[in-house]
């Protein structure tokens, strides 16, 4: 009996090791451009506000929708988006769960991120201002996310010993398989924790991206740019970058209907009440072409300022404030590679975006080019 017990225990240990090893491999699997179409497709999901599933009622929907509407509508919309858009990565930009109404934070997160996990799609998440208001601390929420299947989320970069927030990390997207850039990142994603609420008594309102985070971003951007310019296949200029976080920067208030694409239905921009200078840091770095946030559910616009597009996704979650009759929505971003003279895939030539509405036809709206290599070259010539 003892020998059988030991053998059984050995099998259990081996299975646990294999399971954990597979999970770790899943988390470590790299991102790269598709070799057939030369594309990398990112679905941004903002403000799910997930709570307790079927028991959680919807907010701000038409009276005819109210009786049958719940968190499950949020899940169904994400599943429709995955089928229609076939994203290579899903980025959840905070307020993933609505803490006050989620009776179990871990269970709510498991349900909220389930569509990405069941579809076996790599995904990444940052925190909003409501994620920590349930049964887990802010750090506890991020630790749970990092341990989930298929996630590329990181608690914080290992090289940063002192850094504010939970979930500041970067993801590299390598060139197409078989191309000369297959082992080089040609698109860099920066994900940051924009905080929840100010902890400084004299400063009211929401949190902001702190100096320690900005220093980490600067160092990471510089490292990636150096790598891009060196062997193999040295390149001119930096690889384009995209930044994702929850709370919009104060500079989002720079736009009106004449200089953005989309809608601005909020009374104002709900940024921090102080400007921490992160936008200036982004401009100075020179590689980030667009920033994507959530937080203001009824804003879904993109506007360009000093060469950087500032974009909202628009609210996706049904247990979140919205506007009855104004469809929940999500943002797609597609980066495309250029063809080289030899017919292989090269560097990124353009970054495009549009939104999908949760209506009968999953309508795509507001398609626009956020950045293109050709226009960038023309700008440099002038």
Answer whether residue 351 shows pLDDT above 90.
yes
Q: Is residue 100 part of a domain?
A: yes
Partners of residue 187 on adjacent β-strands: 173
Q: Is residue 4 part of a domain?
A: no
Mean pLDDT confidence for 176-195: 96
Domain count, the chain: 1
pLDDT of residue 254: 95
In the predicted model, what is the mean pLDDT of the chain? 90
pTM to 2 decimal places: 0.91
Pairing mode of beta strands 241-244, 185-191: parallel
CATH classification of the domain holding 253: 3.60.21.10
Q: Is residue 20 part of a domain?
A: no
Answer whether residue 360 shows pLDDT above 50.
yes
What is the residue range of 282's domain? Answer: 30-381
For Cα atoms 230, 231, 232, give the angle at the middle one, nearest 5 degrees: 140
pLDDT of residue 373: 92
Answer whether residue 118 shows pLDDT above 90.
yes
pLDDT of residue 311: 98
CA-CA distance, 330 to 90, in Å (whole number)?
11
Q: Is residue 336 part of a domain?
A: yes
Q: Is residue 308 part of a domain?
A: yes
Residue tagged 């510089």 (tokens): 222
Answer whether residue 10 shows pLDDT above 90.
no
Residue-wise pLDDT for 70-103, tens only, equals 999 999 999 999 999 999 999 999 999 997 898 8
Q: Is residue 185 part of a domain?
A: yes
Answer whether residue 1 shows pLDDT above 60.
no
Least confident of 6-20, 25-39, 218-232, 268-282: 6-20
Q: Is residue 129 part of a domain?
A: yes
Q: Is residue 158 part of a domain?
A: yes
CA-CA distance, 260 to 115, in Å (whole number)?
31
């Amino acid at each position: 009996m003892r020998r059988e017990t030991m053998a059984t225990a050995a099998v259990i240990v081996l299975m646990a090791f294999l399971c954990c090893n597979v999970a770790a491999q899943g988390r470590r699997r790299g991102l790269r451009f598709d070799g057939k179409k030369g594309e990398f497709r990112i679905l941004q999901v903002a403000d799910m506000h997930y709570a307790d599933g079927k028991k959680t009622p919807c907010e701000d929907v038409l009276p005819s929708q109210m009786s049958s509407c719940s968190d499950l509508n949020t899940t169904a919309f994400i599943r429709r988006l995955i089928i229609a858009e076939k994203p290579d990565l899903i980025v959840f930009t905070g307020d993933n769960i609505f803490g006050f109404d989620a009776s179990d934070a871990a269970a709510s997160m498991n349900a909220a991120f389930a569509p990405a996990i069941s579809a076996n799609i790599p995904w990444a998440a940052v925190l909003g201002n409501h994620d920590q208001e349930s049964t887990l601390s802010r750090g506890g929420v991020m630790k749970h996310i990092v341990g989930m299947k298929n996630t590329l989320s990181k608690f914080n970069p290992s090289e940063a010993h002192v850094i504010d927030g939970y979930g500041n990390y970067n993801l590299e997207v390598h060139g197409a398989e078989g191309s000369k850039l297959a082992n080089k990142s040609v698109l860099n994603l920066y994900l940051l924790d924009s905080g929840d609420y100010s902890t400084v008594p004299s400063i009211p309102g929401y949190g902001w991206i702190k100096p320690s985070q900005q220093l980490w971003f600067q160092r990471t951007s510089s490292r990636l740019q150096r790598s891009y310019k060196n062997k193999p296949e040295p390149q001119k200029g930096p690889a384009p970058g995209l930044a994702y976080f929850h709370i919009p920067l104060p500079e989002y208030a720079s736009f009106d209907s004449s200089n953005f694409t989309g809608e601005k239905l909020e009374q104002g921009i709900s940024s921090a009440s102080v400007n921490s200078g992160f936008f200036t840091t982004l401009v100075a770095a020179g590689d980030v072409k667009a920033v994507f946030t959530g937080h203001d559910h009824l804003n879904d616009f993109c506007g360009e300022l000093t060469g950087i597009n500032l974009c909202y996704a628009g609210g996706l979650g049904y247990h979140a404030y919205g506007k009855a009759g104004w469809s929940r929505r999500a943002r797609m971003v597609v980066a495309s590679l250029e063809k080289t003279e030899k017919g292989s895939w090269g560097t990124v030539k353009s970054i495009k975006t549009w939104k999908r509405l949760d209506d009968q036809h999953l309508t795509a709206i507001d398609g626009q080019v956020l950045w293109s290599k050709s226009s960038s070259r023309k700008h440099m010539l002038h």
